[in-house]
Amino acid sequence: MNKEVSTTVKVRFSDCDPIGHLNNVKYLEYMFNAREDHVEEFYGFTYEEYTQKTGCTWIAIQNEIAYLKEVRYNHQVVISSKTIEVGDRTAKVEILMKSQDEKTIHAVLWVTVIYFNVKTRKSEVHPKEIKETFGKFFVDLEQKDFQSRSKFLRIQNAKNS
């Protein structure tokens, strides 16, 4: 089983700045939309269904993004995601935006989420089955902090160019 799941997306002209580069805010939109698709396709549920069923969801509490190489309109990009940390109440996901051949990393995003009960408005401990589901897609990265990871990916890009 592949622990890093991905989809391919076409960058739209309307999402770019006047010089044809993907707008910084749109990186986040593309990456979050891809992650939502990944959860539905590979984890087997939608956030909406899960919240209706359990009364709980995940709330983003921190985003860290590095823009490594510009993306131009009309290009296809591969957006992948994987779980890189699972705690009792929080989890961390890495989302990469890559070139179509996957040799260049355009952006890296780390999203930290907290498991949250919508009714009580408080965080809760992840249920055992969710920790197991996330565990199936867990990748133990060599780089444990965001700065080290983005530096590593920049070096990889330089080697591949």
Per-residue pLDDT of 38-49, as tens digits, reads 999 999 999 999
For residue 2, what pLDDT is reported? 78
Cβ 77 vs Cβ 8: under 8 Å = yes
Start-to-end Cα distance in the chain? 30
Domains and CATH numbers, the chain: 5-160 (3.10.129.10)
The CA distance from 92 to 125, in Å, is 15
pLDDT category at 124 given cuts 50, 70, 90 is very high
pLDDT category at 1 given cuts 50, 70, 90 is low
3-state secondary structure (DSSP) of residue 31: helix
Per-residue pLDDT of 44-96, as tens digits, reads 999 999 999 999 999 999 999 999 999 999 999 999 999 999 999 999 999 99
Tell me how long the chain is.
161
Give CA angle at 82 (77, 86), nearest 5°.
155
Stretch (H or E) spanning 49: helix 47-54
